[in-house]
């Protein structure tokens, strides 16, 4: 009987701790950015759970290899998929965005996120300078 009570006590403490760590921004957020100076909008899909942010941003203009009919050197590839990570803080908070273009070309950006009503506004500090508005789904 004591083992069952101890187990119930541990489970109830875990449930209380989980409920207390939830963030008001928890949920799935989606949206699209403007093109910025690169004219390359990103589609964002972000999940916030217990204040931890995980998501992706996909360049809708990126495409794979195409035939080179002019025999000219191809343009340098751009990152098509960004991995997003961070922790929610009161007010605005930072996310790290990482993308790999080739095996030795790893790019990193810092994004600033702020909650404005029921919308998350994501702003690039450098790079293309894009701004996205994400809505909860």
Distance CA 125, CA 79 (A): 17
Can you name the CATH fold of 23-62+74-136?
Answer: Lipocalin (2.40.128)
Cα angle for residues 24, 36, 31 (degrees, 5° grid): 35
- Provide the 10 A C-beta neighbour count for residue 102: 8
Measured CA to CA in angstroms, residue 117 lies from 64, 81, 120, 125 at distances of: 38, 28, 8, 22
Q: Which sequence spans correspond to the domains of the chain?
A: 23-62+74-136
Q: What is the pTM of this model?
A: 0.74
Q: What is the pLDDT of residues 63-112, one digit of tens each?
A: 666 777 777 776 666 778 899 999 999 989 999 999 877 777 788 999 99
pLDDT for 72 equals 76
- Please give the Cα distance from 121 to 62 (Å, whole number): 23
For 20-54, how does the pLDDT look when each residue is reduced to its tens digit (9 = 90+)?
Answer: 467 899 999 999 999 999 888 999 999 999 999 99
Q: Are 44 and 30 in contact (CB under 8 A)?
A: yes
């Amino acid at each position: 009987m004591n083992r069952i009570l101890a187990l119930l006590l541990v489970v109830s403490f875990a449930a209380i701790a989980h409920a207390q760590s939830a963030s008001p921004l928890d949920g799935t957020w989606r949206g699209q950015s403007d093109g910025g100076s690169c004219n390359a909008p990103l589609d964002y899909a972000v999940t916030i759970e217990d204040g931890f942010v995980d998501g992706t941003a996909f360049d809708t203009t990126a495409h794979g290899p195409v035939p080179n009919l002019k025999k000219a050197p191809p343009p340098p590839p751009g990152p098509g998929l960004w991995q997003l990570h961070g922790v929610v803080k009161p007010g605005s908070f930072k996310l790290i965005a990482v993308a790999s273009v080739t095996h030795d070309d790893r790019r990193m950006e810092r994004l600033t996120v702020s909650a404005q009503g029921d919308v998350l506004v994501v702003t690039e500090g450098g790079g293309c300078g894009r701004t996205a508005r994400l809505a909860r789904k």
